[in-house]
């Protein structure tokens, strides 16, 4: 029988920091005291990235501000994030789990799905215990494992009682184990969807499962259809062990103080472009489109994108596009101060897959940037003066 497991590290960032502290003897075990991994408030990075189980008992939640976490618990212990460390521990864990099966899909740095074909549910439980205890004994941290034959149910089950626990959630267990949970705990039911569902009188996952799906869909579109299916344990997503190509590569940064001038903005855009370029280079991608994102000091967001004339990868090229987009945004938002700038490369192509036809005449002639449409302007002028039929394309695949 097909078995899907969801394996999730308990308080991952916090556990991994603790294991490293124990190894190096340079810090405390944070797991059994109220503690958080948090950013630096002085540089406006002050949010909770991970919390210990004791910290959770104070009502501290991920993405709370560090300040509010300390208000809830003045004795809180805090450590800074270390993403390099997390990547190392993540690799070790995935490698260990692969010794059981290659049918592994990594869902994030600290969680994965595996799919197994086993004779019985008892066999599934036995293997889950082996994996859980193996990780604890060999790597020094604990995981929760959810077992089912559906991804969404395995995922939900792994979030039941923690830490170091295994739970099953098969279809016939749904009414008992899942339907009493608040709607907010359903996978993919975030703030906005939950609020809409509450507005419809839906308070639990069971309420949603037993509601009228046409009403749900009328209010939440295709997302509503998906949530209704999840609430009923319907999920045909497969465990996909093939690493998907990334759709985009980007970096953004919240600045320690608001940006008000181009003199402050340009160096940051330059740095972000250099970082994006280096990451693309490393993975062998070129970008077909560059996106610039801005978060203003009132937290409203704004983004602009532009296709590149030719696929780009160099820091200078990315920076040029990004700066023009920045100027375009700021022309429309004169005098506003900025909290965050992001640069993102999308429409990625593998560098070795670039066809030689890339440099075709239509690529050269096709105007791709608003501010650079000299050709278009000239054409418009001619048409204004001599009429629409005065000039036209000589070949179908050349778009004026």
Partner DNA sequence: TCTGGGGTCCTAGGACCC
Q: Would you name the residues annotated as active-site residues?
A: 111
According to DSSP, residue 47 is labeled B
Single residue of 10, 36, 39, 145 touching DNA by CB under 7 A: 39
- Cα–Cα distance for residue pair 272/293, rounded to 1 Å: 11
Closest CA to 149 of 177, 123, 171, 174: 171
How many residues bind DNA (CB under 7 A)? The answer is: 58
**399 binding DNA? (CB under 7 A):** yes
Single out the segment in contact with DNA by CB under 7 A; choices: 168-176, 199-207, 240-248, 356-364.
240-248
CA distance readout (Å), 185 to 155, 166, 230, 308: 11, 18, 12, 42
DSSP 307-358: EEEEEE-SHHHHHHHHHHHHHHHHHTSTT--EEEEEEEEEEEEEGGG--GGG
Based on CB atoms, which residue is closest to DNA, 81 or 140? 81
Instruction: List strand residue ranges (DSSP E) for the chain, in order.
Output: 2-9, 35-38, 48-51, 77-79, 104-108, 111-117, 143-148, 166-168, 248-259, 285-296, 301-312, 338-350
**247 binding DNA? (CB under 7 A):** yes
- Restricting to residues 71-90, name those near DNA by CB under 7 A: 71
Based on CB atoms, which residue is closest to DNA, 189 or 231? 189
- Cα–Cα distance for residue pair 88/97, rounded to 1 Å: 15
Closest distance of CB 352 from DNA, Å: 20
Based on CB atoms, which residue is closest to DNA, 174 or 291? 291
**340 binding DNA? (CB under 7 A):** yes
**319 binding DNA? (CB under 7 A):** no
- Restricting to residues 184-213, name those near DNA by CB under 7 A: 187-194
Single out the segment in contact with DNA by CB under 7 A; choices: 15-23, 109-117, 163-171, 208-216.
109-117
What sign for the dihedral angle of Cα 80, 84, 90, 92? negative
Based on CB atoms, which residue is closest to DNA, 132 or 339? 339
Per-residue tokens: 155: 């995922």
Residues 6+ apart with CB under 8 A from 89: 12, 16, 19, 20, 139, 141
Helix axes 191-199, 213-231, angle to 10 degrees: 130
User: Interface mask (CB under 7 A) for DNA, residues 273-292, using x and -?
Assistant: ------x---------x---
Closest distance of CB 126 from DNA, Å: 26
Single residue of 253, 264, 281, 363 touching DNA by CB under 7 A: 253
**378 binding DNA? (CB under 7 A):** no
Single out the segment in contact with DNA by CB under 7 A; choices: 52-60, 161-169, 215-223, 378-386.
215-223
Cα-to-chain-centroid distance, residue 54: 27
Single residue of 106, 210, 305, 314 touching DNA by CB under 7 A: 305
Single out the segment in contact with DNA by CB under 7 A; choices: 199-207, 261-269, 297-305, 352-360.
297-305
Closest distance of CB 200 from DNA, Å: 13
CA distance readout (Å), 42 to 45, 73, 104, 182: 7, 20, 40, 36
**303 binding DNA? (CB under 7 A):** yes
Closest distance of CB 198 from DNA, Å: 11
- Restricting to residues 10-29, name those near DNA by CB under 7 A: 12
Single residue of 140, 307, 363, 366 touching DNA by CB under 7 A: 307
Closest distance of CB 333 from DNA, Å: 10
**344 binding DNA? (CB under 7 A):** yes
**44 binding DNA? (CB under 7 A):** yes
CA distance readout (Å), 342 to 11, 76, 254: 28, 32, 9
**Which helix (H) or strand (E) covers residue 52, if one does?**
none
- Looking from the CA of 86 toward its CB, the CA atoms found within 13 Å total 17
**241 binding DNA? (CB under 7 A):** no
Question: Exposed, middle or buried by CB within 10 Å (0-12, 13-18, 19+), for 58?
Answer: middle
Please confirm whether the linkage preceding 163 is cis (ω < 30° from 0). yes
φ, ψ of residue 250 in degrees (nearest 5): -145, 160
Closest distance of CB 362 from DNA, Å: 12
Name the residues that contact DNA, by CB under 7 A.
12, 39, 41, 44-47, 49, 62-63, 65, 67-68, 71, 107-111, 155, 187-194, 221-223, 244, 246-254, 279, 289, 299-307, 339-340, 342, 344, 396, 399
């Amino acid at each position: 029988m097909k078995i899907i497991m969801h394996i999730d590290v308990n308080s991952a960032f916090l556990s991994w920091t603790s294991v490293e502290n124990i190894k190096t003897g340079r810090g405390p075990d944070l797991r059994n005291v109220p503690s958080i991994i948090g950013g630096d408030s002085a540089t406006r990075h002050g949010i909770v990235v991970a919390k210990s189980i004791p910290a959770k008992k104070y009502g501290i939640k991920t993405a709370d501000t560090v300040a509010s976490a300390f208000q809830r618990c003045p004795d809180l212990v805090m450590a800074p994030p270390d993403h390099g460390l997390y990547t190392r521990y993540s690799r070790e864990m995935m490698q260990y789990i692969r010794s059981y099966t290659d049918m592994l899909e990594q869902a994030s740095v600290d969680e994965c799905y595996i799919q197994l074909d086993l004779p019985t549910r008892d066999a599934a439980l036995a293997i889950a215990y082996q994996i859980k205890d193996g990780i604890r004994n060999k790597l020094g941290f604990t995981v929760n494992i959810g077992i089912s034959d559906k991804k969404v149910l395995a995922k939900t089950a792994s979030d039941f009682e923690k830490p170091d626990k295994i739970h099953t959630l098969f279809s016939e267990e749904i009414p008992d184990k899942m339907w009493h949970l608040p709607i907010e705990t359903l996978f993919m039911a975030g703030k906005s969807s939950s609020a809409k569902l509450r507005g419809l009188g839906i308070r639990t996952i069971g309420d949603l499962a037993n509601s009228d799906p046409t009403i749900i869909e009328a209010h939440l579109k295709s997302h509503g259809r998906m949530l209704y299916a999840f609430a009923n344990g319907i999920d045909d997503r497969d465990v996909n062990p093939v690493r998907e190509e990334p759709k985009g590569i980007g970096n953004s940064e919240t600045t320690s103080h608001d940006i008000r001038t181009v003199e402050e903005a340009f160096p940051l855009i330059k740095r972000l472009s250099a970082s994006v370029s280096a990451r693309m280079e490393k993975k062998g991608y070129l970008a077909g489109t560059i996106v610039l994102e801005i978060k203003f000091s009132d937290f409203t967001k704004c983004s602009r994108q532009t296709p590149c004339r030719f696929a780009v990868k160099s820091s200078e090229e990315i920076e040029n596009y990004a700066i023009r987009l920045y100027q375009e945004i700021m022309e429309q938002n004169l005098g506003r101060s900025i909290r965050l700038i992001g640069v993102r490369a999308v429409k990625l192509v593998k560098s070795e897959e670039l066809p030689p036809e890339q440099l075709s005449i239509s690529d050269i002639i096709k105007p791709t940037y608003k501010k650079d449409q000299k050709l278009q302007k000239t054409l418009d002028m001619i048409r204004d003066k001599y009429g629409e039929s005065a000039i036209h394309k000589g070949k179908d695949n050349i778009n004026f």
